[in-house]
Amino acid sequence: MSAAPHPLAGGVIGTWIKLPAIESVQIAAHAGFGFVVIDQEHAPLDVRTAYELVTVADALGVLPLVRVADGRPSGVQRLLDAGAAGVLVPHVDTVDQARDAVSAVRFPPVGRRGAGGTSRAGRWGLRSREEYLASGAHSLCIPQIESREAAGNAGAIAALDGVDALFVGAADIGLDVGTPPSATEVTDLCARARTAAHEAGKPCGAATASATGARALLADGFDFVVVGNDTSMLAEAAVATVAGVRNGGTP
């Protein structure tokens, strides 16, 4: 029997969810996004809200990922027990930090995630212990590469057992090196991380604000792309609507 395809391979596109509203996830699903990333790092979303957004995404057949605020095991565990398909862990610069992320996601003996079989992930105790623990092997651990140091360590990070993909953050790499995200140095570091992920047999993703940017990233060889976010899409549509009424479409 052939292995199941990686859920983040093949050019799948997703979007950030920053609003505490299930409608954002519903709209993303109806629009055709393959996954959503519920953003706890740069949006004020608490665990209960993330739980509700994950549940809606899962019910609509959209892969629910969560970008956690940090890699603390307690936060990661609660989101995985809420039913998140995986987590993006910000600012993983070193192999040791990547090991910590893996440990937070995986059950023993691979990691240190605690058993919570009475959670949603365990169907509130209706899943057998064996089924619940086996499901944890499919939880996605995705370190974010967001600095020059991280890009240099990307190969070793991607090669770790338990790391399922890398996600490259060009904006933060730009902040780290002191240049705009479009600068050659940043794009070279992103390309280095992408190549390292592929050499380890892992997908690599990135983010962009537009469909044009997403097409470019996919053409460059990124396997999955996060395009825009619910708040910016709403803001841009609002500005365009007002401009269209007041001055014929000129913002």
Show which residues are catalytic.
42
- Please provide residue 219's backbone torsions phi and psi, each rounded to the nearest 5 degrees: -65, -30
User: Residue type at 100?
Assistant: D
- Tell me the two tokens of residue 164: 């399922």
Asked whether 110 and 118 are in contact (CB, 8 A), the reply is no
Q: At 226, is the secondary structure helix, strand, or coil? A: strand
As beta bridge partners, residue 140 has 86
Helix (H, G, I), strand (E, B) or coil at 6: coil
Name the phi and psi angles at 160, rounded to 5: -65, 135
Of 130, 142, 113, 108, the closest CA to residue 14 belongs to 142
Task: Kindly tell me the sign of the dihedral angle through the C-alpha atoms of 192, 206, 45, 49.
Answer: negative
